[in-house]
């Protein structure tokens, strides 16, 4: 089993796409979404984004991200924070973070000790950042 799968398998529950706000989109996220949707940027902003000053988020419809439709409808154009979730570096900071995130995401493996979980996650994140450095 891959190390990533030892830590997490998405259960497609959609919990992380629900709420009254979404992650924010940085400039690269915005461009990726525009490219993926193949629409003019202004139209993407008007139809899908909630812009407040310099903060760009996705619109909320019926208490979930506008792109949620029994799964992510912009999967390959989704923001990096969505792609990273739930294996975020904050999990490594302390066990309370792990407990909070783990309780909100049924996909996180609960069988490992926190120490074991962190040792695997650290390797997964190190490999990911090394791949990004070499791009």
- Nearest approach in angstroms of CB 27 to ligand SF4 is 16
Nearest partner of 97 among 88, 84, 106, judged by Cα = 88
How far CA 126 is from CA of 95, 106, 123, in Å, comes to 20, 24, 5
Judging by beta carbons within 10 Å of its beta carbon (0-12, 13-18, 19+), is residue 55 exposed, middle or buried? Answer: exposed
The first and second tokens of residue 117, run together, are 């979980």
| Residues near ligand SF4, by CB under 6 A | 10-17, 22, 58, 65, 67-68, 72, 74, 78, 82, 85-86, 105-107
Q: Which is nearer to ligand SF4, 48 or 134 (CB)?
A: 48
Smallest separation, CB 133 to ligand SF4 (Å)? 25
Residue 38 — left, alpha, or beta (φ > 0 → left; ψ -120 to 50 → alpha)?
left
Nearer to ligand SF4, 58 or 91 (CB): 58
Minimum CB distance to ligand SF4, residue 116 (Å) = 20
φ/ψ (deg, to 5) at 49? -110, 150
**Residue with smaller CB distance to ligand SF4, 40 or 71:** 71
Q: 27 by DSSP, 3-state: which?
A: helix
The nearer residue to ligand SF4, 105 or 118, going by C-beta atoms, is 105
Shortest Å distance, C-beta 134 to ligand SF4: 26
């Amino acid at each position: 089993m891959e190390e990533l799968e030892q830590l997490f398998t998405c259960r497609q529950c959609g919990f992380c796409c629900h709420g009254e706000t979404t992650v924010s989109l940085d400039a690269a996220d915005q461009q990726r979404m525009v490219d993926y949707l193949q629409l003019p940027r202004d139209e993407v902003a008007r139809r899908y984004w909630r812009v407040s000053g310099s903060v760009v988020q996705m619109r909320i419809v019926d208490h979930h991200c506008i792109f949620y439709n029994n799964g992510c409808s912009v999967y390959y154009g989704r923001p990096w924070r969505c792609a990273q979730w739930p294996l975020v570096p904050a999990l490594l900071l302390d066990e309370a973070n792990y407990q909070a995130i783990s309780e909100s995401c049924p996909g996180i493996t609960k069988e490992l000790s926190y120490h074991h979980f962190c040792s695997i996650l650290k390797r997964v994140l190190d490999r990911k950042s090394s791949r990004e450095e070499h791009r």
